[in-house]
Structure formats: structure tokens, C-alpha cells
Amino acid sequence: MAQQIPKVLVTEPIPEKNLAYLREHFIVKVGAKGEFQDENNLINAITNYDALLCMLSNPITKKVLESAQNLKIVANFAVGYNNIDVETAKTLGIKVANTPDILTEACGDFAMGLLMAVTRKFNEAEQYLREGNFSGWEPLGFLGIELRGKTLGIVGMGRIGQAFAHRARAFGMNIAYHNRSRVSPQIEDSLNATFVSTIEELAKNSDVLSLNCPLTNETHHLVNENLLKLMPSHSILINISRGPVVDEAALAYALQNKIIAGAGIDVFENEPKVHRDLLKAPNCVLLPHIASATFETREAIGMLASKAIVSVLKGEHDSNIPNLI
């Protein structure tokens, strides 16, 4: 009897180069956008698949994993894996892969652009022009703040935090950071970065507070009403990490009541929903989770996830899969 070709479920369309690579080895089904954001849809679909390539928005819960009779690997199209019940996967002998290191440069660029958009009021000024209100140069029009000499406080000095810090240094900013542990003296020296032992102290002394930390039980609602009150009234919050790190209701209140001066947000607490008060908040740039959205990065993410699937289903040794958890 001929050996069956393994089946791979890709929950949403990804770059065609990645799909072509998978189709060289397997039978591949690609879901429609948003089709598998519902747990029940995944439970009903996953039964006979050998591998799952999923998005951060797909809930890979205990029920989903237990419904997968043939599943050998879940590969996340993301650097994190907080959407996957990793412990259940381990118990069931299902490998889990993510895509570390791939997003660093794209996210560093994006964070700098997001900060510029907030501090220089790009979106507000463009809308003003498009609505036909521009009648000439105005000495008091859309005044923002300069970055040189300001302090960027980074929460989470991993690869993306460091990439943002390098770019901010080029703009003349001072770097402070809070991390679970200090980075090496070499990294601190290269960034002229100062370690701050508590998030509260960092918030008090930062002109810009950037969130670059993973979502854990400890970081859930790390930015809340109390922390926002500690921030200077002229300060800016940047979040390209995970939505639930920020209490969106508290952030909207802080912006509307001028407790802080602005925010740039790319990820949301109940994504894709955005808190209705945040949608109306002043000087708040809201973007639809696009920090890694470059052709080069998205293809690289897909290829790393796809190669993990090929390696596992082909029975290669785990050491050949650097992104395997």
C-alpha cells in the first residue's frame, strides 16, 4: 500500500513562495482570512492534518490539540506563541515552532516610524490636507516635539528592543531600559543604555515609553491606570509587542484627559476589535498589526515556519530546527 502524503493546514493565505515550498512535499489546504479565528472551526477542521501552520490570531487551545488525531507540529507564523497551549502540545507529543529573529529589523524600522508619526502628527496633518483645509504654511500648524535629547524607555531589551534603541540613538535620544535581567555590558555600551530596576522608575523618567516585551501573566496589563499616572504629561507610549500588555480603557482615558500626550499602537487587547474610546482618543496613531509587514520579512517568517514543518514531518533530528520549542 502506497504511503499517504502528509497533509498541512495553513489557516490563512501566506506568501506564495512559502506555499509552493510546502506543496513540493505535502498536500496543502489554505483557509480563508479569519476562517480559523474561531476555536470550533479549528476543532472541526484539524482532525486529519499532520501539520498546522497558524497565525497568532488562531486559538490553538487544549480542545483543538486534543481533536487533532494525526498532528505532529504546530508552526506559528509569528515570533511568539502565546496563542498556543504549549504544555498540552508537549503532553501530546506535538512539536511547536515559532519564528524568532526574523522580525527584528522590520520591527525596529516600524517602531521608529510609529514614534515619528505620533510626535510629528503625520496622520492628523495628512487628513487636514486631504480634507482641503491646507491654505498655506502656518507657523503654529501641527507643532510636535523633537526627539534629540529625549529619553526612550524600553520595556523588554530583546532583539527588537535593541533594534529600536539603535535607531533612536541615531536620532540623538538617550536610552534607558527595564528587563527581567540586565543585558551584557557590551550591549549597554553600544547603546549607551542605562538599566532601570523597576518599570515604575522607567515610566517616571521616560519621554517615550516603548513596549517590546512578550505577553506573560506578569506583563498582562503592565501598562494600567497607575503606571500611566506616573508618566510625564508630555510623554508618548509606543506598543508593538502584544495588545493585552496595555489596559486599553485606561490608555484611552489617559489620552482623553491629557495624562499623557500621545500613543502609537499596533496591537490590541481584543484584536481585531479596538476599544471604542481608544478610537476617539486624541494624538493616537492606531495601525492594524503591521510592524513586520515587509515583503522580505513576511516571506522569511513563512519560510522558517514551513521548514520546521518539513523537518518534523520528514523525521529530521530536532537539532536541525533552531526554532522548535
In this structure, what C-alpha cell is assigned to residue 320?
A: 536541525
In this structure, what C-alpha cell is assigned to residue 300?
A: 522569511
Q: Are strands 7-10 and 284-286 parallel, antiparallel or unpaired?
A: unpaired
Name the DSSP class of 16: H
Active-site option among 124, 201, 289, 299? 289
Are 231 and 204 in contact, with CB atoms under 8 Å apart?
Answer: yes
Active site (annotated) includes residue 120: no
Active-site option among 66, 124, 271, 299? 271
Within 13 Å, how many C-alpha atoms sit on residue 39's CB side? Answer: 12
Are 300 and 72 in contact, with CB atoms under 8 Å apart?
Answer: no
CA-nearest of 247, 183, 171, 178 to 210 is 178
Name the DSSP class of 176: E
CA-nearest of 199, 191, 215 to 83 is 215
CA-nearest of 105, 61, 106, 54 to 80 is 54
- Within the chain, residue ranges assigned H as helices are 16-23, 39-45, 62-67, 86-92, 104-119, 122-130, 159-170, 185-191, 199-204, 225-230, 248-256, 276-279, 295-313
Are 37 and 17 in contact, with CB atoms under 8 Å apart?
Answer: no
Which residues share a beta bridge with 174? 151
Active site (annotated) includes residue 221: no
Active-site option among 242, 248, 269, 275? 242
Active site (annotated) includes residue 105: no
Catalytic residue numbers?
242, 271, 289
